[in-house]
A and B are shown apart, each in its own frame.
Chain A
């Protein structure tokens, strides 16, 4: 059974790049890399997958199970509450939804940040923390609630090489440990070529699905060539 299913989904709204008639489903453990130029609609697709936006037509179905949140979301920038420390940001969804008691959430959040190498900045507010620490805190927040679907917007952008290695490891771990499906959006597909199981190209709101790396690399589509760099 699919964890995430888009059925003829369209969204045309002022301020958002449109998407039109998107049909795709993502199975447990599957990794879907969504790519396209800026303004092609991939960002809108990610927000629809994360439940931030509602489609104007069609349906987005996200499988929910008890004891875990349906979606974990890692935006490209921002997305952490500026009036909370990184540690409290990590704990927030788990405590808010009563998935964990406060002390347990704090202990697990600390241990996750420690494991990811961001423990030294756990007490800092996002504005005072480094880009890498903020990105790792977003991953820790998502891991703590063990989501069924993980939505990421270019998670390797702007981070240093060591953090990029940690994030690559995390992206593997999410599949193996949680059995979650993962969706990732990017404008530079080269970084994620080995990561994706399937690839979804966005071009002016419409989509082309590639079933694997071989099919993608064999494509002569100029948009694909541009995104592969």
Chain B
């Protein structure tokens, strides 16, 4: 019994280490490519990056706006219910703590995983199955700088923009409810939020976009490229990419929050 348990633990550890090694190799190769950027054909890379920004960033805007407005409203309603007689001066802190620090980056990352992470894993898996990656290799077009690097850059940029958009719309949604429920003036609310918002919040937002975007792109590409022989591997790859991305984002979020706000 104990032996079986150890065997399971050993297999899981080996699997985790293999995944970490594989991701580290991919990351190092990408970092090396980033150094070579001046030698690459930037016009081609920029076109792919812009296409990806269009899909990852712009097409996600309606979803982000709707969810941010709802989250902003819900945050203020719930907080007002919990803290009856919620002091007006706390509303700015509540909105900044809940939306800017936590929910903005987290929900934007979840939307990104659901839309773009799944799309990237499926696309790369299909590219492998249809021989597209082989053809690229034959023509000496490195999939790292033609396929993966533009997707990673686009994911990080798009996520940053989506987080900022989420924060702005979420705070405005919160404003709307606060004005209705608490009967506070808009300029007063604005000054409360601005005084609660610090440079650290902005820096953490940018850092979270960088880390979350990189993790989602890296894991989605890794699992997509892992497809080898059959289309039946595609849904498995997508599921693994989603699960791994969600776990990574949650773990990174907890670590960053602890590092910046608790320590």
- Taking Cβ atoms with an 8 Å cutoff, the residues of A that contact B are 15, 47, 50-52, 69-73, 75, 77-83, 92-93, 95-98, 102, 141, 145, 151
Contact = CB atoms under 8 A, between A and B. Distances in A.
19 contacts: A50-B137, A50-B138, A51-B138, A52-B134, A70-B140, A73-B134, A73-B138, A73-B139, A78-B135, A81-B135, A81-B136, A82-B126, A83-B123, A92-B139, A95-B41, A96-B44, A96-B146, A97-B41, A102-B43
Contacts of B131: 75, 77-79
Nearest to B135: A79
Contact of B41 (A79, A81, A96): A96
A50 B43 CA distance: 26
A97 B40 CA distance: 8
B130 A82 contact: yes
Contacts of A82: 126-127, 130, 132
B141 interface: yes
Contact of B130 (A51, A73, A78): A78
A95 B42 CA distance: 11
B11 interface: no
Given A51-B140, A69-B140, A96-B41, A75 B135 contact: yes
Interface of B is mostly: helix
A52 B142 CA distance: 11
Contacts of A93: 139-141
Given A15-B229, A78-B130, A78-B131, A95 B44 contact: yes
B228 interface: yes
A73 B127 CA distance: 16
Contacts of B130: 78-79, 82
A80 B138 CA distance: 12
B84 to A, nearest CB: 55
Contacts of B141: 92-93, 96-97
A79 B137 contact: no
Interface of A is mostly: loop
Contacts of B228: 15
B21 to A, nearest CB: 19
A82 B138 CA distance: 17
A67 to B, nearest CB: 14
Contact of A98 (B41, B123, B132, B139): B41
B139 A78 contact: no
Nearest to B138: A73
Among the interface residues B135, B228, B229, which one has the most CB atoms of the partner chain A within 10 A? B135
Among the interface residues B51, B123, B126, B136, which one has the most CB atoms of the partner chain A within 10 A? B136
B140 A47 contact: no
Contact of A151 (B51, B136, B138, B229): B138
Closest 6 CB pairs of A and B: A73-B138, A78-B131, A79-B135, A78-B130, A93-B139, A50-B138
Given A15-B228, A78-B130, A96-B41, A71 B135 contact: no
A69 B139 contact: yes
B248 to A, nearest CB: 27
B139 A80 contact: no
Nearest to A75: B131
A145 B139 contact: yes
A50 B135 CA distance: 9
A52 B139 CA distance: 9
